[in-house]
Structure 1
Amino acid sequence: MDRQEIIRQLKHHKKQPYLDYRLKRKTEEFTDRLFYTLFDINTTVEENLEFLALDFNELVDLACWDTVRPCTKVWERYLAELPIILEKLNLDAEAIRDCDPASLSIEEVYMAYPGFYAIAIYRLAHFLYQEGFPMVPRLMTEYAHRQTGVDINPGAQIGNSFFIDHATGVVIGETAIIKDKVKIYQGVTLGALYVDKSLQKTKRHPTIESNVTIYANATILGGETVVGENSVIGGNAWLTSSVPPNSTVFHTPEIKIKTVSNA
């Protein structure tokens, strides 16, 4: 096969007309600028909001393939929402500082906790998800996923003062509902019982009521599964049915120790 034939075949099979990877790169730049605008003391808010507006216009050009949808109006609503999002993120940071004995300062939480970063990018993406802005919210949370190991779908609904400790391996599905003052640890999955495209418009992921703690590597599955308030889910637990309020659920492993006598 000569070079021209290879090129012809590659072009023939390159079928996705909207697959412009500039969108991914621009979304990551927008996400970084947005995060620094909200938190970095050396980043000027007034000036950066102008840059963010320009960035967003580029995202509109790249992401809004359906010209009927008013993507250009989203920025004004998003801008008005940013103070509310920042207020929620400050509550998240305070919850992490107050709950984690290893936290030495609030500044450490903002700068060094991957769980906080993942929550921040989720909250910044969630509003755009609610607005129906295409692709960008998912690219934002996947950017955070790549950096932190935390996979939060931007469609999840998460209340105030949320705490993810250690972060790595956490998965929170699109239709999960998490209420206020919930603490989860590494490796926790809030997932679906099974995957089928026909379930796209249904609630597939669990509801976690307020003041629940979920320890490492617990798996909670199903759209009808509700963990009642003030409950504690122990490490490695596997849940596919609801738990009443004020419950403690734990997994008891069977441990067998084989010893070899001295010869």
Structure 2
Amino acid sequence: MARAAIMVGDDLWQSIRDEALRAAVADPVFGKAVAGAILAHDDFTAVLADLIGRRLGGSVSERERFTEFSLKALRAQPDLIAAAGRDLQAITRRDPAIAGLLPPLLHFKGYVALQAWRVSHWLWRHDHHDVALLFQNEASNVLQVSIHPAANVGSAVYLDHATGIVIGAAAVIGDEVTILQNVSIGRGSELPTRSPRIGRGVFIGAGATILGDVSIGEFARIGADAVVTSDVPGGCTAVGNPARLTNCPEPASVA
């Protein structure tokens, strides 16, 4: 399994380099930016670390610091690189306006915000809490995406438009989830406080709020501006405030 993941990662990196080379030839002006962001690096790990540093660091020293911490995390846990690759490919599969890997890698702030969270989560789990929270704070300030380092987020996740997204400390986000802008996922007011669990393949529309000890089943859809405070079964759509269920799958008939 690990070997397969490495091979996929190598293939992905080669695809990114090939796109970058074609872009540099097609547009010499843009080619300079591509050369610095992609072609100057030896692998996808270095590209991601530099990307995070560029986006979060306001000064040269800050950029170097964010890059250094990112390199440390990404090299210590190769699974982060595999997850980053799946996140990137998920964008190309779900966004019909995207034809390649290079545009979302270089220009989609939701993508870099998610990779910054992956680094912060690694830092948090290794007891570097202050630095992890620094990553969260800067991602919130600069990219308008605030994901607590203690949250759990799967892979092949797409933060589409990625403005005003807030995910709390105890939230659990499954694989292949799509989250649009202005979404809040966090604790409710009940005691003890608990956070939502979002299943695989869930789509969360713009402006939705999901709060408290709720479970969103696999491939459910949360409509725009819905306020969800109770469970949503798999395959159902939740709309409105308070949310009501619609379009639920027909129960299997008993022979």
TM-score, L = length of structure 2: 0.66
1:131 to partner: Cα distance: 1.3
Q: Distance in 2 between matches of 1:76 and 1:165?
A: 25
Q: Name the structure 1 match of 2:204.
A: 214
Per the alignment, residue 205 of structure 1 pairs with 195
Q: Distance in 2 between matches of 1:87 and 1:115?
A: 17
- From 151, 163, 179, the equivalent of 1:168 is 163
2:116 corresponds to = 121
Unaligned runs of 5+ in 1: 1-38, 53-73, 254-263
2: CA distance, partners of 1:76 / 1:182: 26
Pairs within 5 Å for 1:99-248: 99-194=94-189, 204-222=194-212, 224-248=213-237
Hey, what's the Cα distance between the residues in 2 that align with 1:182 and 1:205? 17
Give the match's secondary structure for 2:206: coil
Rg larger for: 1
Q: Is the 8 A contact 1:175 1:203 kept in 2?
A: no
Whole-angstrom distance in 1 between the partners of 2:135 and 2:103: 23
- Deviation at residue 194 of structure 1 after TM alignment: 3.0
Q: Give the whole-Å Cα distance in 2 for the aligned partners of 1:44 and 1:227.
A: 40
Deviation at 1:252?
7.6
CA RMSD, 1 decimal:
3.3
The equivalent of 1:29 in structure 2 is none
Q: By how many angstroms is 1:157 displaced?
A: 0.4
Separation (CA, whole Å) in 2 of partners of 1:79 and 1:165: 24
Aligned to 2:38: 40
Show CA shifts across 1:176-196 (max 9, x none): 00111101100111011139x
- Return the alpha-carbon distance in structure 1 between the equivalents of residues 75 and 123 of structure 2: 12
Specify the code of the residue in structure 2 equivalent to 1:133: H
User: Taking every aligned residue pair, what percent have the same amino acid on both sides?
Assistant: 33
The 3 A distance-change label for structure 1 pair 112 and 228 is: same
**Change beyond 3 A, Cα 1:245–1:108:** same
- Tell me by how many angstroms 1:213 deviates: 0.3
| CA displacement at 1:80 relative to structure 2 | 4.6
Q: For 1:235 and 1:75, how far apart are their aligned partners in 2? A: 34
C-alpha distance 96-79 of structure 1, shift in aligned 2 (>3 A): closer
Displacement, 1:203? Answer: 6.0
Structure 1 residue 104, shift from structure 2 partner: 3.2
Are 2:73 and 2:119, in contact at CA under 8 Å, matched by a contact in 1?
Answer: no
Alpha-carbon distance between aligned partners in 2 of 1:229 and 1:142, rounded to the nearest angstrom: 30
Q: CA deviation at 1:101?
A: 1.3
Q: Which residue is 1:93 aligned to?
A: 88
Q: Which runs of 5+ in 2 are unaligned?
A: 1-36, 51-68, 243-255
Tell me how far 1:134 sits from its aligned partner: 2.7
Distance apart, 1:102 and its partner CA: 1.8
Q: 1:160 to 1:132 in 2, by over 3 A?
A: same
In structure 2, the CA distance between the partners of 1:252 and 1:107, relative to structure 1 (3 Å rule), is: same
Shift of residue 248 of structure 1? 0.8
Q: What displacement does 1:133 show?
A: 1.2
